[in-house]
A and B are shown apart, each in its own frame.
Chain A
Amino acid sequence: MSLNAIGQDIFDTLDLQGIEIFSQRYEKLLPQKLVTVDSVVLAEYFASNLADLIAGATPLFVKSYSPGGLASVSFRGTAASHTHLIWNGINLNSPMSGQTDLSLIPIFFIDRVSISGGTSASSTALAGLGGNIIMKTEADFHNKLAIDLAQEIGSFETFRTFGKVNLGNRIFQSSTRFLMANSENHFSYPDNSVSAENPPMKTRSGASYHQKGLLQEFNFSAGLHSILYAKLWMQDDRRGIPSNIVANNIPENEELNDQSVRFILGFERKNHNSGLIIQTSMLNSLMNYQNILAGINTDNRISSSCNFVNYSFQGIKNLSLAAGGGINYHKATSENYEKTQTRQELNINGSINYNLEDKLVLQLSMRQDFIDQNFAPFIPSFGFSYRIRKASPFLLKGSASRAFKSPSLNDLYWVPGGNPDLTEERGKNYELGVSFSKSIKNTLVTASITGFYADIINWITWQPDTLFSYWRPFNLRHVVSRGLEFDGNLASTIDQVSWNYQLKSTFTLAENIAGSTNDEFSDRRQLVYMPGIVVNQSIRITWKGFSGNYTLNHTGKRYTTTDNSRYLPGYLVQDIALSKTILLSRSAFRMQLNVNNLANKYYQVIAWQPMPGRNFSFSLQYRFSK
């Protein structure tokens, strides 16, 4: 392998254009919009978590309490539980809460992240009402030995250590990754609960976080086109939960401890006209919540088993067919449940694709789920992508689908309040978009604009019961969300300088359609914590192993009340990442300096939960490859 090839393998920053083109080709013919986070960006965010990556590099709104704190994402105007986090084909959203905490997902443990709307983006796991974040780890059978060690030091006593050893041959590959992260997270913030005019600077306390994780994978190449794989992901997270700055902040009062063990065993066989994947998994998690003052120390345990099989066949002229099924079982134990609660999910799915070379793709898919042996809503989905002329830079795409979301176990069984009479939230999703991709002189220009429309009924909201005034979930709201997504990208190389500019933005109008009879003031109002506009811009320049990336994120106003009588102002965050890679014969050193929130702008994503001002991190990474 040439030195240059090793370099590309090690740090993808070196051939920017190539990567762009590759990811374009991969996704362009799918009817649904699927955005894959660039491997260059993933490399830049290697020490971060998924919440920081999504907030910093995509135009999605991440509702984050503080760095390292609870974080969830809103996709196309929907709620946190409407985005499914899919890891190697399985949904990681907690069956108890229906959500995932994005800050618990280390980027170092992921090789590929894609974001999609629409239902048929993943056939193995049930798609979210709003969208899906799809994460994968991948094996490289060309590898003999690859070692990756990194240390990051950051503001607020943040230390992160990473290690990866990939070892193997063309038959067998082992990959071991570990990480350890500790942060006191004691950043300064202006306390506007004391004075809005002259807020005194204070130090956040009780927000520290500690993370340990291990990911072990074995991949065994059984024959020419077959892989047998096993993945084990273990993680331990301990976090303090600070109260909002208006409340009585009793130091170290609240703590959240998450432990999880996830194990996957699978078999995949692919040849020129068929593909088969069979996968079984066991997921165990323990969430411990402590509140000293309230005398709460409670354990929530979940055991799940998720299994699926999927077969695809290509070759009857332009048709390809896929069919699959899955069976999942969840068991949850909590002091807040009367008894151990379980859920059984069964599904069958199938799809048919018509593919006319590089001109037209038609896709029809169907899925039927059975939840605890009851019929769930049938989910059909139809999509197309169409190119008027061969080699035309324009591609038209569209899809229409249905989706549903079962009430979470907490919605059904939480004591007090759980409402066993809840029914599924149901949605209809439509999207239509056009994309453009052309190399003009030596600049690659890509752009896409996508309009979406989602209509969701039976939207579950918790509010006090009319009789005993305790909070209960009800199928209360009807939400209509529509908007536009724009993605633009310019990339070019002049001499040895590569530059790339990206502009991504979303405009979302997500409105409540009168929930209850006397609630006219929230009718046709924007949902709470749903920014109307998010704009993400970045410019990256690479030259001889140097790379500089400047990003600018603008998140618009978020209303905090359903009648839109209160709001949080928009904020603008600027980040810089500078790196230098030094290639030696078989190894490489990489240094990266991050300056986050460059302009030192103070902002709150959630009311009265401060975020840090300007802060720094520096990392040193060593890679060896043979």
Chain B
Amino acid sequence: MKNSTFKQRNRVVFRLVLILFAGTLLGSCEDEFGEVNKTKSMFQDGTGVFIINEGNYGAGNGSLSFLNFDSLKIYNGVFQTANNRPLGDVPYSMTIMNDKAWVVVNNSGKIEIINLTDMKSTDTLAGFISPRYVLPVSGQKVYISDFYSDKVAVVNPQTLQITRQIPVGRCSEQMLLAENKVFVAFWSNFPYPSLENNQLLIINAETDALSDSIQVGKEPNSMVLDKNGKIWVLCSGGFMGVEFPTLWQIDPKSHEILKKLTFPDIYTSPTHLCKNQAGDSLFFLNLDIFGMPVNAANLPETPILQSEGRYYYSLAVAPGTSDILLSDAIDYQQQGMIYHYSAKGTLKGSYKAGIIPGNFSFN
């Protein structure tokens, strides 16, 4: 009798345990298993700027945002919303060609070609190692620079095939087309420590052959073409102050150096050289935001916009309005901020974008 009471009790306990198990099983029936981005939204077409959020290298959390200038609303994760998959690992730059945008996804070794109206991917170009920038050269040719490859790839935008690889013997970064030549910045010698990363390589856009090079400062990080058809190159001076940062003006015809302006502080690292639509003013980021006319004899001493304690990651100047767009990656592990200023320096708005907002692309 006593023994059977034991057994009954045990049965009760046993059932209780089963109920607990069942509860846990039912309570956590989640079928989704991928990373959820709570901030993504549907793309709304309009005039504005795309923000290429790099995300953390190796974390697959890069994304694409769009700031609509008319509604002053930001739309995040627009690629993922439209395509139901992530954009990739470290989306880095974006180039608009006709009604399509080419988004270079660096650590995914690919380029996503997307419809500007609905953000749907129409094609994915693979076969790159570590692509950085896209430069349309002609109706038949698009150049793709690459960090880990020692070649610049040539893609036919009609067939979307890689038609040629131009050997340059080092990594290639930003590119600029002038006088039917492509000027390619040799920005980092990380994969090629024996080479000096202080050159512009010049490729003949007709023959796709490397024809010349120009020595500039260490780490040429950005380039623009001014209203007079002259190239401006901003060099940060190398990693941790190897040399003084410099700004160069170059004649794309003769490859002659017209100007070399040296920054006064070796422990600064100016980046993001931009111009206004007219091409008569230059802008760059050097903790604060600086601007200068292209005919200035010296570098500006006072900023046009103070950083106000923020550490900006990226800068762009809107064509037309000359509005200033800045990004702040904060701790690099959360949604970065976009600050939108008028050309006169009045704050028009601030927005949360994706993780590590980097390059901007105006539509």
Contacts and interface: CB of A to CB of B under 8 A. Distances in A.
Contacts of A554: 24, 28
B220 interface: no
B349 interface: no
Closest 4 CB pairs of A and B: A246-B60, A248-B109, A563-B334, A247-B89
A517 interface: yes
Interface string B28-55: 1110111111110000000000000000
A441 B17 CA distance: 18
B25 A607 contact: no
A566 B6 contact: no
Contacts of A246: 60, 86, 88-89, 108
Interface in A273-300: 293-295
Contacts of B14: 499
Nearest to B128: A248
Interface in B38-94: 38-39, 58-61, 84-86, 88-89
A537 B20 contact: yes
Contact of A570 (B21, B28, B35, B37): B28
A468 B190 CA distance: 15
Given A469-B269, A490-B17, A607 B60 contact: yes
B244 interface: no
A251 interface: no
Consensus secondary structure, chain B interface: loop
Interface in A453-468: 461, 463-464, 466-468
A364 to B, nearest CB: 40
Given A246-B88, A246-B108, A468-B269, A192 B33 contact: yes
A566 B108 contact: no
A234 B61 CA distance: 39
A565 B334 contact: yes
B267 interface: yes
A492 B287 CA distance: 69
Contact of B9 (A247, A443, A568): A443
Contact of B36 (A468, A516, A519, A569): A569
Contacts of A592: none
* Interface range for A: 35 or more
B348 interface: no
A2 interface: no
Contact of A463 (B37, B267, B332): B332
A517 B60 contact: no
A245 B85 CA distance: 12
Which of B33, B37, B352 has its CB near the most chain A CB atoms (within 10 A)? B33
A494 B33 contact: no
Interface in B324-344: 328-335
A522 interface: yes
B309 interface: yes
A293 B28 CA distance: 41
Interface string A474-511: 00100000000000001010100001010100000000
Contact of A501 (B17, B88, B108, B269): B17
A195 interface: yes
Contacts of A244: 58-60, 89
A528 B35 CA distance: 13
Chain B interface residue number, banded: 35 or more
A410 B352 CA distance: 33
B86 A193 contact: yes
Contacts of A294: 148, 190-191
A194 B85 contact: yes
B181 interface: no
Contacts of B17: 490, 501, 539
Interface string B100-115: 0000000111100000
Contacts of B190: 294
B6 A494 contact: yes
B10 interface: yes
A563 B335 contact: yes
B335 A561 contact: yes
B355 interface: yes
A554 B26 CA distance: 11
Contacts of A567: 35-36, 38
A265 interface: no
B281 interface: no
Given A499-B14, A560-B35, A248 B311 contact: no
Contacts of A518: 309-310, 328, 330
Nearest to B106: A248
B268 A467 contact: yes
A196 to B, nearest CB: 5
Contacts of A607: 34-35, 59-61
A565 B287 CA distance: 27
Interface in B292-346: 309-311, 313, 328-335
